[in-house]
Each structure stands twice: as structure tokens, then as C-alpha cells.
């Protein structure tokens, strides 16, 4: 049987002695149950009617709750009172662990007010004090965060700033990509430019040699083709130089734009 069932069975057995008077063991049980259920002793224990009243109250309470209360860790002595400093609250039995340990963390010498308490009450009181300090620090941090957090009515503005920040970051990334592509293109064109210059030198040398071998004033078909190839190479070189100049200008603009976008993004996050 459970503790509750045992208790109810014992109380049921005591019913036969309700009128004639409870035995000493009956009264001890009623005293114990009354303290456990209501946190205080039965008044006027020398009175038989007081025990009868207590019996009725205890039985009705247990029938209603259908459970036995847990034995509290802290029980105050009869008549003892707890009044936390700075409050208008007063506590008697039953007293919670939190109230008792807060009281003992501030006034450990008042342990003599307790009829029952855990063996490790000092460690419990110290742990409560640490938790209290941590709660105060957490509350302080939360209040400081709330001071710098925009009010709820600025939520639309905050969302707009977030969108602007995202767009700025995307634009900065795109500008960086374009700048990198431009740098690569410049290198390719400069390499092509170098090759064209070498080709022009080679063609100049060939046309000079070909003219000398064919005789002055006479231009063979091979020479004409070389000259045409030379002119084409020169045109390609001019176009490459022009594209390089344009890309370098665009690259400088992209670098400047990228810097501005990054700076704006950093400001938006502040």
C-alpha cells in the first residue's frame, strides 16, 4: 500500500474511538499529520474535542487531495516567524525551501528558529545566494540590452535597414566579382598585346628582308600579304590597348564603389 492508503486505513480504524476518545498513539498520529498538512500544531492538545475537530479536518483534507504532502525540508519552531528584510511579508509553517534558504543566506545565525532543517543547509543557503547574484546580473544585462534595442514601433525601419544592408552586401560582392574579372581581362589583353608587339616586330623584319631580296621598288605578293598582316596586327594592338585602358578605368570605379558599399554596410550594422 502507498503511504496515503496506509494513513487513510489508520484513520478509518480510529473512527471507532471518535466518541470514546483517541488513544495516545492516535493523538501522536493526528499531531504529526496536522503539522505535515497544515504546518502548525493542534491547538489546546489537552482538549478531546480539539482532537476530534482535527480528525475531521485531516480526513476531509486527505479525501479531497487524495495524496500525502511531501515532508518539507525546513520546519519552523512553534511561534517562530520569518520576516524578509525590506518586505512586508511574514512567513510561518509551512515554509518553502526558497524562503528558508533566502532567509538563512542573509541571517545564518537564525537557524535556531527551525525545528527541522537539512544537514547541508549552509551549502544550500550559499548556493541560493550565488543564484540570486546571477539573477541580478542577468536582469541588469537584460535592462542594458533593452536600452540600446530599438523600440517595437521601429520594427519597420529596422526591417528596411536589414534589406538595404543585404542589398549593399550583394552589390559589394557583385562589384568585387566584376573587378576581379576586369583584372583578369586586363592581364589577358596585356599578354596578347605583348604577343602582338612581338608579331609586329617579326613582320617588320620579314617585310624588310623580303623587299631587299626582291629588289628596291618591287613588292612581291608575299610582301603585300605580310604588310596586310602587319596592319591587322597593329589594329588589333590598338584595340587591345584601348580595351585595356577602358577596363582599368572601370576597375578603378569598381574598387571605389566596392569600398563605398562595404563602408555603408558596416554603418548599417552599427
Evaluate whether 92 touches 82 at the Cβ level (below 8 Å).
yes
pLDDT at 1 over 50: no
Write down which residue in 148, 169, 187 finishes a domain.
Answer: 148
Q: What are 180's three cell numbers?
A: 576581379
**Among the listed residues 68, 118, 114, 76, the one whose alpha carbon sits nearest the alpha carbon of residue 94:** 76
End position of a domain, from candidates 46, 65, 84: 65
Residue 249 has pLDDT above 90, yes or no: no
Domain-embedded: residue 204: yes
45 lies in the same domain as 105:
no
pTM (two decimals): 0.37
Does residue 177 lie in a domain region?
yes
Asked whether the bond before 94 is cis by omega within 30 degrees of 0, the reply is: yes
pLDDT of amino acid 174: 77
- In this prediction, residue 101 carries a pLDDT of 92
Higher pLDDT, 2 or 237: 237
| Residue 70 forms part of a structural domain | no
Mean pLDDT across the stretch 212-236? 67
Domain count, the chain: 3
Q: Which domain holds residue 58?
A: 3-65
Least confident of 53-57, 64-68, 164-168, 250-254: 250-254
Q: Hey, what long-range contacts does 18-27 have (CB within 8 A, 24 or more apart)?
A: 18/52, 18/55, 21/48, 22/48, 22/51, 22/55, 26/51, 27/51
Predicted local distance difference test score (pLDDT) of residue 219: 53
Mean pLDDT of the chain: 80
Per residue in 83-132, pLDDT (tens digit) is 887 888 888 877 888 889 999 999 999 999 998 899 999 999 999 999 98
Q: In terms of domains, do 253 and 158 share one?
A: yes
Separation of alpha carbons 167 and 221, rounded Å: 61
pLDDT per residue as tens digits for the range 149-198: 555 557 777 787 788 888 777 777 777 787 777 778 778 878 877 887 78
Q: Name which of 34-38, 46-50, 141-145, 203-207 the model is least confident about.
A: 203-207
On whether the CB atoms of residues 27 and 51 are closer than 8 A, the answer is yes
For residues 173 and 193, membership in a common domain is answered with yes
Amino acid at each position: 500500500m502507498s503511504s496515503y492508503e496506509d494513513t487513510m486505513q489508520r484513520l478509518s480504524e480510529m473512527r471507532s474511538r471518535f466518541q470514546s476518545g483517541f488513544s495516545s498513539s492516535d493523538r501522536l498520529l493526528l499531531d504529526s499529520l496536522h503539522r505535515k498538512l497544515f504546518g502548525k500544531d493542534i491547538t489546546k492538545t489537552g482538549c478531546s474535542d480539539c482532537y476530534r475537530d482535527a480528525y475531521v479536518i485531516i480526513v476531509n483534507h486527505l479525501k479531497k487531495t487524495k495524496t500525502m504532502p511531501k515532508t518539507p525540508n525546513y520546519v519552523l519552531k512553534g511561534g517562530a516567524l520569518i520576516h524578509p528584510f525590506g518586505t512586508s511579508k511574514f512567513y510561518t509553517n509551512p515554509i518553502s525551501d526558497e524562503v528558508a534558504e533566502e532567509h538563512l543566506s542573509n541571517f545564518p545565525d537564525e537557524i535556531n528558529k527551525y525545528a527541522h532543517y537539512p544537514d547541508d543547509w549552509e551549502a544550500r543557503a550559499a548556493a541560493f545566494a550565488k543564484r540570486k547574484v546571477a539573477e541580478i546580473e542577468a536582469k541588469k544585462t537584460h535592462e542594458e540590452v533593452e536600452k540600446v534595442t530599438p523600440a517595437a514601433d521601429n520594427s519597420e525601419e529596422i526591417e528596411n535597414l536589414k534589406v538595404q544592408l543585404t542589398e549593399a552586401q550583394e552589390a559589394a560582392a557583385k562589384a568585387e566579382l566584376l573587378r576581379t574579372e576586369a583584372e583578369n581581362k586586363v592581364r589577358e589583353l596585356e599578354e596578347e598585346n605583348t604577343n602582338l608587339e612581338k608579331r609586329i616586330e617579326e613582320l617588320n623584319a620579314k617585310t624588310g628582308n623580303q623587299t631587299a631580296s626582291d629588289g628596291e621598288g618591287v613588292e612581291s605578293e608575299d610582301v603585300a600579304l605580310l604588310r596586310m598582316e602587319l596592319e591587322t596586327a597593329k589594329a588589333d594592338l590598338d584595340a587591345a590597348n584601348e580595351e585595356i585602358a577602358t577596363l582599368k578605368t572601370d576597375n578603378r570605379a569598381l574598387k571605389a564603389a566596392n569600398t563605398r558599399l562595404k563602408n555603408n554596410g558596416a554603418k548599417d550594422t552599427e
